[in-house]
Amino acid sequence: MQQLIDSSVLAARNLSVGYGEIPVLHNVSVAVAEGEIVALLGRNGAGKSTLLLTLGGILRPSAGHVELGGRECTTPAYRRAKQGLAYVIEERGVFSGLTVLQNLRLGSGTVEDAIAIFPELEPHLTRSAGLLSGGQQQMLAVGRALAAQPKVLLVDELSLGLAPMVVERIFQAINDARDRGVGVMLVEQHSRTALRVADRAYVLDQGRVVLDGSTSDLLPRIDEIEEAYLGGSTD
């Protein structure tokens, strides 16, 4: 673990985080390296989204710290974006009252780059983002994030409420980003899907990392992992 954190593009070291007096994360250490996909698995309330919010600079840790590009990072979210961190929140973060084109122009990348990632969006450029399907909105959010050419991408609940074909298409774009050297850390409700596309995974339970390893090692144990930590099958 120490070697992984030392060579990572984004890492948490001994992170503890809470909301007011309510602790959520306890001494959590995770990392994502350049050109790899890391999945965060766990029951609802395990602390997965809290971890992403802290890595993204939206929440402040009560102990431990975040490292971006190998250096301790205490800057707010907007500065981390300028340092190469992109974050797609659980609610997708599209502006429903703006058109697809206007949404893309709000990103740091170009409209052309976003459309190159998801050509499916081009016929809808003048359409209000609020009228898009859930899958199209997720493509818009992920495409806008990847068009900025980030060093690392955080994605919360990538497949939530989406059809399997749409999920496969978005994962294709994320795999392409990984192949270009982008580090990706994602929260994914479907554990088997996550382990098939990720390189490594962490399992969180009650705010602690209880299991981590390569997906090739974890996937054969998925029944055991789901029973012990995920509340049964998630696919």
pLDDT in tens, 134-172: 999 999 999 999 999 999 999 998 888 899 999 999 999
Give kind and range of the element (H or E) at residue 154: strand 152-156
Q: pLDDT-derived band of residue 7, with 50, 70 and 90 as boundaries?
A: confident
Structural domain boundaries enclosing 98: 34-60+76-230
**pTM score:** 0.92
pLDDT in tens, 16-62: 999 988 999 999 999 999 999 999 999 999 999 999 999 999 999 99
Residue 56 is assigned to a structural domain of this protein: yes
Residue 161 is assigned to a structural domain of this protein: yes
Instruction: Identify whether the C-beta of residue 235 lies closer than 8 Å to the C-beta of residue 190.
Output: yes
CA distance 60 to 138: 27
- Kindly provide the b/e burial profile for residues 37-47, where b requires at least 16 CB atoms within 10 angstroms of the residue's own CB: bbbbbbbeebb
CATH code (residue 217): 3.40.50.300
Where does residue 132 rank: exposed (0-12), middle (13-18), buried (19+ CB within 10 A)? buried
Residue 67 is assigned to a structural domain of this protein: no
Residue 25 is assigned to a structural domain of this protein: no
pLDDT in tens, 165-194: 999 999 999 999 999 999 999 998 889 999
Domain total for the chain?
1
